[in-house]
């Protein structure tokens, strides 16, 4: 049995979770992460003593917000900071409530195996805590070097970790997967023999996003026709917040016809800055009778809750739960993706 974490640790972990849920600037998350490391090094007894004496801010990297959170955790200060964060980052479900309740897992997530901020075990625990029965680990493929994409060797190591974690997490399951890069010509950034070993494969474009429409159409059709590809990730690559980015252009009729024909689900990517595909394309995917997958693309535990956003969008567009592959059980999903 592992011991319960010290009060300061639980409070800091919760703050980080909520900051991520609220899409807070990464510097803010890092400040709390770093402070947590400093406090861990100090030890729980010292942290408690300093919280009570009000001397935490004399430590390097412990500012007023961390001080307030830790003192709150020991009952020697108010818990306003954390309470406020709980309140302001809550994801209120609207029309998508029923769809959200029908979701049983998430098919797109990242961990420290690539560019995620948390270990796979922490991602799995968070997925379980929000009611999922499974989480597909889809770290990036090697081509995406900025995201520490997985080489074949590291992918194999990850498969071992998944197997070990699943021993302790059962009945919860981590399914193996990858967010494999779609190369310029529509081929994929991992040999087919390895893709075939994975439970669920998401294929996404991450470079040459604005190539001519005709080439992009061919690229996406080629990718989704690969029998190992189960989901087409964030198909337009648009960004709608902060650093905005125009969507890719392609003939969506061809691409969605190919998705329907080759049984590749179209992802509704729930990241607030992506919201991809836009409504018009979701409607077109419905016309082509495509399956959908409502995925968080979480890079941190708190971001797993973003599926709520996608459920609201999908419900408004008339998406029924049976069309969404992650309303299936893990075994049903595996059968679909076999």
Taking the least distance from each CB to Zn ion, the nearer of 179 and 230 is 179
Q: Whole-number minimum distance, CB 54 to Zn ion, in Å?
A: 43
In the structure encoding, which two tokens stand for residue 128, read together? 């379980």
Q: Whole-number minimum distance, CB 177 to Zn ion, in Å?
A: 11
**Residue in 44, 45, 39 with CA at minimum distance from that of residue 5:** 44
In the structure encoding, which two tokens stand for residue 154, read together? 């590291």
Angstrom distance (rounded) from CA 333 to CA 120: 20
**Residue in 257, 261, 200, 209 with CA at minimum distance from that of residue 234:** 209
Taking the least distance from each CB to Zn ion, the nearer of 237 and 327 is 237
Q: Whole-number minimum distance, CB 161 to Zn ion, in Å?
A: 19
In which order are the strands placed within the sheet that holds 200-204?
A: 105-106, 134-137, 173-181, 200-204, 231-232, 265-269, 292-295
Taking the least distance from each CB to Zn ion, the nearer of 30 and 207 is 207
Cα 223 to Cα 50, 192, 255, distances in angstroms: 57, 12, 10
Exposure of 4 by Cβ count < 10 A (0-12 exposed, 13-18 middle, 19+ buried)? exposed
Q: Whole-number minimum distance, CB 239 to Zn ion, in Å?
A: 12
Taking the least distance from each CB to Zn ion, the nearer of 68 and 268 is 268
Taking the least distance from each CB to Zn ion, the nearer of 179 and 189 is 179
Q: Whole-number minimum distance, CB 297 to Zn ion, in Å?
A: 4
Taking the least distance from each CB to Zn ion, the nearer of 297 and 305 is 297
The beta strand positions in 184-238, using DSSP E, are 200-204, 231-232
Site residues (vs Zn ion, CB under 5 A): 179, 204, 297
Backbone angles phi, psi at 45, to 5 degrees: -65, -45
Q: Which residues neighbour 196 within 8 Å (Cβ) at sequence distance 6 or greater?
A: 228
Residue holding tokens 């989704």? Answer: 224
Taking the least distance from each CB to Zn ion, the nearer of 67 and 297 is 297
Q: Whole-number minimum distance, CB 204 to Zn ion, in Å?
A: 4
Q: Whole-number minimum distance, CB 45 to Zn ion, in Å?
A: 41
Backbone angles phi, psi at 185, to 5 degrees: -95, 10
């Amino acid at each position: 049995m592992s011991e319960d974490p010290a009060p300061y640790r639980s409070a800091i972990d919760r703050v980080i979770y909520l900051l991520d849920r609220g899409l807070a600037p990464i510097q803010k998350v890092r400040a709390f992460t770093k402070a947590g490391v400093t406090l861990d090094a100090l030890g729980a007894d010292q942290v408690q003593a300093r919280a009570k004496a009000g001397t935490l801010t004399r430590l390097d990297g412990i500012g007023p917000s961390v001080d307030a959170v830790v003192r709150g955790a020991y009952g020697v200060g108010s818990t306003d900071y954390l309470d406020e964060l709980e309140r302001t980052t809550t994801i209120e479900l609207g029309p998508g409530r029923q769809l959200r309740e029908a979701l049983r897992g998430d098919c797109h997530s990242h961990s420290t195996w690539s560019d995620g901020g948390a270990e796979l075990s922490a991602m799995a625990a968070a997925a379980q805590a929000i009611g999922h029965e499974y989480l597909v680990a889809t770290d990036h493929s090697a081509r995406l070097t900025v995201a520490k994409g997985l080489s074949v060797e590291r992918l194999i190591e990850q498969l071992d970790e998944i197997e070990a974690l699943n021993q302790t997490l059962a009945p919860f399951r981590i399914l193996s997967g990858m967010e494999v890069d779609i190369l310029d010509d529509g081929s994929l950034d991992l040999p087919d023999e390895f893709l075939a070993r994975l439970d669920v494969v998401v294929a996404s474009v991450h470079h040459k996003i604005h190539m001519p429409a005709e080439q992009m159409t061919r690229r996406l059709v080629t990718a989704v026709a690969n029998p190992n590809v189960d989901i087409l990730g964030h198909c337009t690559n648009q960004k709608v917040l902060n650093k905005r980015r125009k969507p890719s252009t392609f003939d969506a009729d061809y691409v969605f016809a190919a998705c329907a024909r080759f049984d590749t689900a179209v992802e509704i990517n729930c990241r607030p800055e992506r919201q991809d595909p836009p409504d018009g394309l979701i409607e077109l995917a419905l016309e082509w009778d495509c399956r959908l997958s409502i995925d968080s693309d979480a890079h941190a535990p708190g971001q797993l809750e973003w599926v709520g956003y996608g459920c609201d969008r999908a419900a408004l567009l008339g998406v029924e739960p049976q069309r969404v592959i992650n309303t299936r059980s893990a075994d049903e999903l595996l059968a679909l993706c076999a």
